[in-house]
Amino acid sequence: MKKTVLVFSLLILALLLLFQFSKYTVISGDLNIEYIMAIIAIAFLGIGIFINKKTQKQPETSNDQINLQKVEELGLSKREYEVLKEVALGLSNHEIAKKLFVSESTIKTHVSSLLLKLNAKRRTQAIQISKDLNII
């Protein structure tokens, strides 16, 4: 938000400067009007592209990046988060247990509390929710 204000302020400033410059050069006859128009057109084309890139980058990066802050917000413990990632990989409780060198009942405990925290009824729903929250 602060950046947006700054960018627009600079934009308005540039516009005003350009006006003054163009008025001066047209009157003094140093440049003809076509050049000034072309410069303005190109400049604002670039500014348009730049602004759009900035606004479009936000969803892009937030889509690919895993949001570890969200994990904390949800109150997921380190182990629960670890189990969640294995669940999302399509492993069964038994397979996860073997992989993490613990018993299956331990995994069940983790999964149960993880489902509660994610507000999911099933592990498949937990996967979907986690994907939406960008935590996996």
Determine the Cα–Cα distance for residues 107 and 30; give it in Å rounded to an integer. Answer: 78
| 23: its two tokens | 């008025």
- The option from a second copy, DNA, none interacting with 53 (CB < 5 to 8 A, set by class) reads a second copy
Closest CA to 97 of 88, 116, 110: 110
Tell me the angle at which helices 104-118 and 78-88 cross, rounded to the nearest 10 degrees.
90
Interface mask (CB under 8 A) for a second copy, residues 9-28, using x and -?
------x--xx--xx--x--
* Burial zone of 71 (CB within 10 Å; 0-12 exposed, 13-18 middle, 19+ buried): buried
Nearer to DNA, 44 or 85 (CB): 85
Q: By the criterion CB under 7 A, which residues form the site for DNA?
A: 75, 77-80, 92-94, 100, 102-103, 105-106, 108-112, 115-116, 121-124
Q: What residues make contact with a second copy under the rule CB under 8 A?
A: 15, 18-19, 22-23, 26, 33-34, 36-38, 40-53, 56, 60, 87-92, 120-129
